[in-house]
Amino acid sequence: MSALRTLLICVLAIATLYAMRNSTPGYGDITAPIAIRGAVGERVETRDFAFGAANVHLARQVKVESFGRVKDYSTSGVWLIIEGAAVAKTETMTLTSADWLAGNGLRYELSQRFSTVPGYLPTERLEPGLPRPVLLAFELPEAAVDKGTLLVARSLVMPLAEELSIALGDKKPADIKPSVTIARSASGTPWTLAAR
């Protein structure tokens, strides 16, 4: 009887320890950014900056017109282009991290192929109180567009910083355009976007 009880206590202790070990949040979870939820079409605020996604486009190909030359950017999936605006609130900053979180949990980083496009988010310096139009582009498999979320943060390596999580919701564009052309613009927004 006593032996059985000892055994039972042992088993119980092992089970408890195992459960505790598996449910302990890891370093990544503890230092994860704090999500602030919003939707496409509205201004979403953090303590340091505000961001709003206005227009969402889907395209098979992107053409960039720059100083008379046209560059073609193809993709094996689809281009997701977001036009929006961002403003810093407390200090001069640059929003260097933007990811597309697909419904199945895969993270797609902002395409690094448009660093020369005017108004591209990670190259745009934001002064406090002066809103700037910004452009974002992602290369995604077609299935990753639905139920996707746009994540925007100051930096990827800042623990416990705020991160915007902007749901696409029902704002998904109805059709995928064969080609979209981005060109420099002299007035208004620094670029123009035209579907061909």
Partner 1 sequence: MPVVRRSKIRRRLLIMLVTGVGGMAAAAISFASAVYDAANPAPVPTIGKDQTVDTGRWRVTINGAHMSSMPPTGTKPFEPKRFLVVDLELDNRSVATSNVFLNLITIRDEAAPVQPKPTYYLARDKWIASAINPNMPEKLVAAWEWPADRPEPATLSLSIGKQIYKPRDNLYGAPNWFDDGEAAVVELPVTQAAETKEQ
Partner 2 sequence: MSEKRTFWTCLLVLIVALPAAFVVRAWESLRESQWLAAGRAEIVVADGAPQAFAGGQWKLLDMRRLPRTDDARVILAEFEASPTEPAILSQGACRVRLVDGKGRRFEPVTLTEPIVRKMYPEVAERPRCGVLAFADAKDGAVVRMAESFIVPADARDLLLRIEFPGASDETLVFKWTRS
Q: Is 76 in the site for partner 1 (CB under 8 A)?
A: yes
Q: Measured in whole angstroms, how far is the alpha carbon of residue 121 from the centre of its chain?
A: 11
* Residue 91, binding choice from partner 1, partner 2, none, Cβ under 5 to 8 Å by partner class: partner 2
* 128 DSSP assignment: B
Q: Which is nearer to partner 2, 62 or 88 (CB)?
A: 88
Residue (28 or 129) nearer to partner 2, CB: 129
- Amino acid identity, residue 189? T
Nearer to partner 2, 80 or 126 (CB): 126
Rank residues 39 and 143 by Cβ distance to partner 1 and give the closer one. 143
129, interface contact from partner 2, partner 1, none, CB < 5-8 Å by kind: partner 2
Query: Under DSSP, is residue 114 helix (H, G, I), strand (E, B) or coil?
Result: helix
β-bridge mates for residue 163, sequence order = 35, 153
Quick check: helix, strand or coil at residue 169? coil
Among 128, 159, 169, 178, binds partner 2 (CB under 8 A): 128
The residue assigned the tokens 């988010």 is: 121
Q: 159: buried, middle or exposed (CB in 10 Å: 19+, 13-18, 0-12)? A: exposed
Instruction: Please choose which of partner 1, partner 2, none residue 90 contacts, taking the beta carbon within 5 to 8 angstroms, the exact cut-off set by kind.
Output: partner 2
Binding string to partner 1 for residues 118 to 147, with x set by CB under 8 A, is what? ---------------------xxx--x---
Instruction: Answer yes or no whether residue 89 interacts with partner 2 by CB under 8 A.
Output: yes
Nearest-approach distance from CB 128 to partner 2, in angstroms: 4
Beta-bridge partner residues of 136? 82
The answer to the question of residue 113 lying near partner 2 (CB under 8 A) is no
Cα 142–Cα 146–Cα 150 angle in degrees, nearest 5:
100
88-107 residues in contact with partner 1 (CB under 8 A) are 99, 105-107
**Each residue of 119-135: b (16+ CB within 10 Å) or e?**
bbbeebebeeeeebbbb
List residues binding partner 1 (CB under 8 A): 26-28, 31, 72-74, 76-77, 99, 105-109, 111-113, 139-141, 144
